[in-house]
Chain A
Amino acid sequence: MSQFDAIVIGGGVNGLVAGTLLSRRGKNVCIIEKSNRFGGMASYSVDGGPSLAHSLYNLSPRVLSDIGIDPQHPVLSGKPVSTVSLSEDGRHIVFKNEGIFWSEGTKHPESDAWTDLTQQLITYGGLLRQLAEAPPPGGQKAILSRGGLNEFLRLAKLGFGLKKLGKSEMRRFLQVVLSNVHDIVLDDLPEGPVAGMLAADAIWGSATGPRSPGTVFNLIYRLGHGGHITQPVGGMSALTDLLVEAAQKAGCVLMPETEVFRILLDDDAVSGVVTTDGRTLTAPTVLSNLAPKLTSRMTGPSVFDIETMRRVRNIRARGTAAKVNLRLKDGSLLPGLPDELARERLIYAPSVEHVEAAFNPAKYRQMSKAPVIEALKMQTADGASWLSTIVQYAPTDLEGGWTDTAKDQLAQIAVSTLNLALPGLKDHVTNTQIITPDQIENATGAPGGHWHHAEMSLDQLLTLRPANGMCRYSMGPKGLFQCGAATHPGGDVMGLAGRNAALAAMEATP
């Protein structure tokens, strides 16, 4: 008799969601996390500084309801954050639901064009969300089985949704979704900070530039839940605490500071795990929140056929985003920015070409000297003021490695880049904290420190995610499932990968 019905390896967002969901469906679940706190990449922080993820835009309401969290929970009712595209001439551009405005309040001339384009992409995002909330199409199921029929109905629903768009919109969808953000944005908008902001939103965390085909999909993905951005009240750790609480309430056994050494196999089925401290935990089902490569290392390669191992090895995950946290002098304001905009999401992406040029060095394992930056001012629990920034591009495989000198250089680049649009910012920064992609990998196990564990490019999406032949969460031996961001539909503090994986596991072992 096994100790548990299911073991989840890795207590990141998706692991917590998967475990909680299984518990709520009556399974006896244990979630194992190697570090001392749950939440994985979302709430990873260094010395109490701002966490790796700092805003929410894709958290799935469906996931929340499935794991019993009230969407109106105080932690989730943070004030919506607008986006500000910074400009060196001091005329920043504010993106709001009702249009875009100059920082002094007058309407921006590109407002209508931006609204039209964004609304169109949000509509497409709504359609694609149906695909995100279920395993990807194209499994091995017989069409007449229950699963097969469900899948057929889901695709029919998507087809109907497409049809409802009207002929010309449907055709446009099929073109836009395959296109690159450089072309789509510059077809409708002039080059500049508005276009630059859209281009930036299409490339965060990925090893692509605006000209790379498929980047519009990333932008749509980001807008899949409407594109509203919030900051959780109490920071990202409050959100992960909420998930932990939900897991406990559902009856999960949580095991922090426990590292899995090996996944145990009994013939061609999993039977449990062995931890590094020598304990054996048994269960007929194991869900791994880790990337496929690490999972396969825990089972040993012999349980997979050679093709599968080749595909796992070839999954591309090259993190390109570094986190640079700037400690600000207490009570300091952001220079060059009106007070009311100080808590918004600030983007430095003056043009599409700037974003593309920033990408160039990353291809050759260099950091970008003129990067694209997202910044959010926040206070940590100790009351300290920070500017939490994401610096794109800083590749994980930097030539020469991420030495202290390289890190210092990155911090300097980040500060001086922001200083162009916020003149004087330099003098407000008292300290910096740099989290490079390779550090993210070391801390969380995410391959290459990639936000999604696997690049979100067209050849690694849907049925091809994480790799051809393993899209339906099960992997190799019976009872082994993947539930991490490498699986469909991907990461982004969304929780759908964990949810879908839990449902797949339920279906396989009712």
Chain B
Amino acid sequence: MTVENRYDVIVAGAGHNGLTAAAYLARAGMRVLVIEKNDWVGGAAVSRSLHDGWTYSNCSYVCSLLRREIARDLELPKYGLQVIPYEGGASFTRDRDYFAYYSDHNALKREMARHSAKDADAYRGYSQGIMRQCRFIRPFLLRDAPDPASLHPRDLGELAYLVKKAHGLGSRELGETLKFWTMSIGDFLDEHFENDLIKAHLAGSGIIGTGLGVYSPGTAYVLLHHYMGDIDGGIGAWGFARGGMGAISNAIAASFKDHGGTIHTGSGIEKILSKDGRVEGVALEDGKVFYAPVVASNMDIKRTVLHHIDAAELPDDFTKAVRNFKIRGSSAKLNIALDRFPNFPAAPENTSFLRGDLHVSQSLFELEKAYDDWKVGRWSEKPYIDMLIPSQIDPTMAPTGAHMMTVFVQYAPYDLEVDGVRSAENWDEKQRNAMAETVLDQMSVACPDIRERVVHMEVRSPLEIEREVGLTEGNIFQGELTFDQLFFNRPVPGWSQYSLPIKGLYLCGSSAHPGGGVMGAPGANAARAILKHETRHGRMKGYAA
């Protein structure tokens, strides 16, 4: 054992959460090593150039959820992070009309009134309701989830905070909050709006990344998960990271390295070493071994526990609970290099909404049917797509005059059904291309010339996402966002506070509270837990929350 391979903390996985945890710990004066299996860092927050001249945000593609406390603490702007807000968005109809979403309230109201006067009136109440829920939930993101079965002062303290916040709402508002958290986005929208297109446009955020349909209870919460972020204080606003989503990871990594951190790329973790219930270090696939009294895993809980730890080291009921943890692959991704800007015949010239998120779903029923296809192992016949062309705002993404398009596809199953057999192995090139054709058909509702514009296209099924990023089943949240897997139930009941049953082993990825999205909160919270439990003096430098 030499000094070179000994560290205070080893972080397994250089996703944005792993890097965030590492950066906080390095700032607190610890000697931290981050291990990454790929040759690059970032996990699912990554920019890669797969076709000369174009840069793709291969996985995650827009930014809003990243906690501003974290950006401030880690001085991310100083290390090159620039987030450019984008405006608006639209859903196109099959008969060359559209519903455009503007961030300007009056413009939006006029546009809504064009489709339904009643809905234009209802929007105010709807958006106020959502905003209230966002305000309620945001303070919880950077706190621990209390264990309701524990009488530990820490848990009682967190529980008291929750009760205080809930009580502060007043009984009427508390009822509305409980209702909102438990209802489906479909029912919630049906309560407010009548127009199918408007409802379909607003519903998308409730199902992105989940194995749920728009009428599944709990999807209203998932919507919140996409609204509770902010850009420069504008709650619910979304933006592009200049240079692609990899810019976020790169900024965190730079901040980490600047404070003495080390990143080891190109070889993944083979095994997390432990002895007598205490973690000792990690063995890598390339045979290297590193030692540390603390290991934080950025991998999802299933991968961490079921693939990289000796089952004998863990209690059986814990392993069983992890095995039953639901991580369902439901999304695919197309990254497209375009020779020039595609033609959107329905859109007026020089309109701003093309710079936002574009969709072609016509109704809640169409979205729900897309979910039904997924349940039986097929990609949706009419998938929900979320397409953006970031190169309009960020010229670094494509050569001059050319453009880059990112298309998120919901739903695509991990275990694809072919000839009666459901298996991830079925995702061969033929199936991938067939899915891409389905998606291109769907896209041509908005831009009929899309096929002619394609210079290069990367098609990623859940299997590719799993293989490259390591996310089990390619689930973008490292675990379903359902009630039974949120808050004190995340990832499994009794282990919601980042530590795991082996002493010194922590979870710092989105499998932990508060869950996925390029948020950084699990990483920051895990770093706090590590400092609290593993150091005498605790207290992270510069930690604002």
Contacts and interface: CB of A to CB of B under 8 A. Distances in A.
A457 B150 contact: no
A36 interface: no
A211 B489 contact: no
Interface string B334-369: 000000000000000000000000000000010011
A457 B482 contact: no
A178 B483 contact: yes
Contacts of A170: 148-149
Given A174-B488, A187-B324, A356-B375, A167 B176 contact: no
Interface of B: 147-150, 171-172, 174-176, 178-180, 182-183, 187, 191, 212, 215-218, 317, 324, 326, 365, 368-369, 372, 375-376, 482-484, 488-489, 493-494
A332 to B, nearest CB: 38
Nearest to A363: B368
B148 to A, nearest CB: 6
A153 B124 CA distance: 41
A469 B176 CA distance: 9
A213 B183 contact: no
Nearest to B148: A174
A140 interface: yes
B304 to A, nearest CB: 20
Contact of B484 (A167, A178, A353, A459): A178
Contacts of A464: 175, 178-179, 182
A317 to B, nearest CB: 12
B241 to A, nearest CB: 33
B215 A363 contact: yes
A214 B182 contact: yes
A316 interface: yes
- The 3 A-B pairs with the shortest beta carbon distances in the complex, nearest first, are A171-B493, A468-B175, A178-B483
A138 B171 contact: yes
Given A138-B174, A458-B217, 8 more contacts: A167-B150, A172-B493, A174-B148, A174-B489, A178-B489, A214-B218, A364-B368, A459-B183
B494 A180 contact: no
Contact of A469 (B148, B175, B326, B375): B175
Contacts of B179: 459, 464, 468
A213 B375 contact: no
A457 B183 contact: yes
A171 B147 contact: yes
Nearest to A316: B187
Contacts of B369: 364
13 contacts: A138-B174, A138-B175, A171-B147, A172-B493, A174-B493, A175-B489, A179-B483, A183-B324, A211-B375, A212-B216, A214-B182, A214-B483, A458-B217
Tell me the dominant secondary structure on chain A's binding face.
helix
B372 A360 contact: yes
Contacts, number: 99
A208 B215 CA distance: 9
B217 A175 contact: no
A213 B175 contact: no
Interface in A174-224: 174-176, 178-180, 183, 187, 208, 211-214
Contacts of B215: 363
Nearest to A163: B149
A167 B218 CA distance: 26
Task: Give the one of A140, A172, A174, A213 with max B CB within 10 A.
Answer: A213
Contact of B326 (A171, A183, A463, A468): A183
B368 A457 contact: no
B293 to A, nearest CB: 27
Contacts of A360: 372
Interface of A: 138, 140, 163, 167-168, 170-172, 174-176, 178-180, 183, 187, 208, 211-214, 314, 316, 353, 356-357, 360, 363-364, 457-459, 463-464, 468-469
A457 B488 contact: no
Contacts of A211: 216, 375
A468 B172 CA distance: 7
B182 A459 contact: yes
A152 B342 CA distance: 63
A140 B440 CA distance: 55
A353 B417 CA distance: 15
B522 to A, nearest CB: 19
Given A171-B493, A178-B484, A213-B216, A458 B172 contact: no
A459 B178 contact: yes
Nearest to A171: B493
Given A180-B482, A211-B216, A212-B217, A364 B172 contact: no
Contacts of A172: 493
B152 to A, nearest CB: 11
Contacts of B365: 363-364
A214 to B, nearest CB: 5
Contacts of A356: 375
A459 B217 contact: yes
B414 to A, nearest CB: 16
B515 to A, nearest CB: 15
A440 B339 CA distance: 61
Contacts of B150: 167
Task: Give the one of A163, A167, A208, A364 with max B CB within 10 A.
Answer: A167
B176 A213 contact: no
A183 B485 CA distance: 12
Contacts of B178: 459, 463-464, 468
A463 B368 CA distance: 29
B175 A463 contact: yes
A115 to B, nearest CB: 18
A496 B324 CA distance: 36
Nearest to B220: A459
B493 A175 contact: yes
Contacts of B212: 213
A179 B484 CA distance: 5
Contacts of A168: 149, 317, 493-494
A183 B494 CA distance: 19
Nearest to A165: B149
A176 B494 CA distance: 14
B184 to A, nearest CB: 8
Contacts of B372: 360
